[in-house]
Each structure stands twice: as C-alpha cells, then as structure tokens.
C-alpha cells in the first residue's frame, strides 16, 4: 500500500521533469529548431541524460515496506531453528541454550551452576551460549568464569523470545524448545534441572 504523501511527492518530481522537458524545447526553439553550437549539443545531452535518470527513478511507485517480525515469547513447543544463525540443531541433537549477558549479575552468579552442567549432563548435550555482546567478549567472560560451552553466538535474547537473562532452553534436534528455565537456578532447583538435562 502506498503512503499518502508518496503520491504527492512523486507528482512534484514528475512536474519537475516536465519543467526540464519544457526547457529543452525552449533551447531548441532559440536556435530556430536546430542546434547551433557544440556547447548546445553538450547541454542538451546532459539534460536528456538527467531526464532519463529521473524518469527511471521516480516513474514507479516505491516498493511497500515489510512489516517488522512480530515479537514472541519463548515457550515449550516453540521452534527457534531459524532464529539463531550458525547452530546445527540436527547435528547437535539435544542442545542447552544459555541466554545470558556479561552485564547481568544474575548470570554471573549462575556460573557455578553452569560449571556443573558439562560434568553432570554428559558430552551428548551441547551447550550454546547466546549473548548480545561480541563473541570475543562473551568467550572471555566464560573463560574467566571457568564455564565450558560448545558454541558462542552473538544475538539479542529477544531473537529467541527471551525477555530476561539468565534463561536456559533445552532444544531438541529439530530446533524445538522442550524445556525452559527462566532466571537464576537456585540450589534447591539444581537437581531437578540436572536430572532433566541428563535424560535423553
């Protein structure tokens, strides 16, 4: 759908084209309908070239803008297969996505639990960290905290429907969320989470 002001703006541009065309006619008439000098030839050629560019640029309506991607909220059963670039869900099999931030103090407080994940969940579970910070900064964050992850991806948590960090998503080989934990995992919750991650 064309915006209301777009037609008016295009009409004004077409009027300017008509003015330019009229000027060309006047230049020709001033020499009795012919071209008297090389300078006149050059002037008319440049003007004709500019007129052709204007016609090509403004004679067609602008393409409609695509609507923004609707916001989503992460939930069990939701597919995030196409929402994180560079993750091979099928090859990974079961994947634990850690949606965290280097600026989140709850994320930093959760790192002792994250260190347990690899030992308790086993090597069959891949861990992918998603952070809004650059990958190099994120990798250094995990290194400093002694947390081992298989892949670090720079992306905003909202891209996978996460509204706050830290959030953990257990994803199957088809890229579908099967379990979800929002917020810091407290000590009394750890065994339940580890038991769920160890199944599969």
Exposed, middle or buried, 199 (CB in 10 Å: 0-12/13-18/19+)? exposed
What pLDDT score was predicted for residue 121? 79
What pLDDT score was predicted for residue 25? 56
DSSP track, 14-74:
HHHHHHHHHHHHHHHHHTTTS--SHHHHHHHHHHHHHHHHHHHHHSSPPPPPPPPPPP---
Q: What angle do CA 12, 16, 22 make, to 5 degrees?
A: 140
What pLDDT score was predicted for residue 66? 44
Q: Are 200 and 125 in contact (CB under 8 A)?
A: yes
What pLDDT score was predicted for residue 58? 56
What pLDDT score was predicted for residue 186? 92
Phi, psi of 70 (to 5 degrees): -60, 145
Domain 89-198: state its class. alpha beta
What pLDDT score was predicted for residue 11? 52
Mean pLDDT of successive 10-residue stretches along the chain, which has 200 residues: 53 57 56 53 64 59 51 90 95 96 96 90 89 95 95 96 96 97 94 84
Global model pTM greater than 0.75: no
Taking 3-state DSSP, the helix, strand and coil percentages for the chain, each rounded to the nearest 5, stand at 50, 15, 40
Lookup result for tokens 């929402």: 83
Residue 49 vs residues 25, 44, 62, 65: alpha-carbon distances, Å: 15, 8, 22, 30
Q: What angle do CA 177, 175, 110 make, to 5 degrees?
A: 50
Q: Where are the beta strands (DSSP E) in 103-166?
A: 126-131, 151-154
């Amino acid at each position: 759908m064309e915006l209301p002001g777009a037609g008016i703006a295009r009409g004004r541009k077409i009027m300017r084209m008509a003015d330019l065309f009229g000027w060309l006619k006047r230049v020709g008439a001033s020499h009795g309908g012919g071209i008297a000098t090389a300078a006149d030839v050059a002037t008319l050629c440049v003007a004709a070239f500019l007129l052709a560019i204007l016609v090509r640029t403004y004679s067609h309506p602008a393409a409609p803008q695509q609507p923004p991607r609707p916001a989503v909220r992460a939930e069990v059963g939701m597919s995030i297969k196409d929402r994180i670039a560079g993750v091979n869900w099928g090859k990974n099999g079961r994947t634990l996505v850690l949606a965290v931030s280097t600026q989140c103090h709850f994320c930093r407080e959760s790192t002792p639990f994250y260190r347990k994940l690899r030992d308790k969940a086993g090597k069959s579970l891949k861990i992918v960290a998603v952070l809004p910070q650059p990958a190099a900064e994120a990798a250094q964050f995990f290194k400093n905290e002694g947390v081992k992850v298989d892949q670090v991806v720079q992306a905003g948590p909202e891209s996978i429907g996460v509204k706050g960090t830290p959030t953990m998503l257990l994803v199957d080989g088809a890229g579908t969320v099967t379990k979800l934990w929002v917020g810091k995992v407290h000590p009394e919750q750890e065994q339940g989470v580890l038991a769920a991650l160890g199944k599969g």
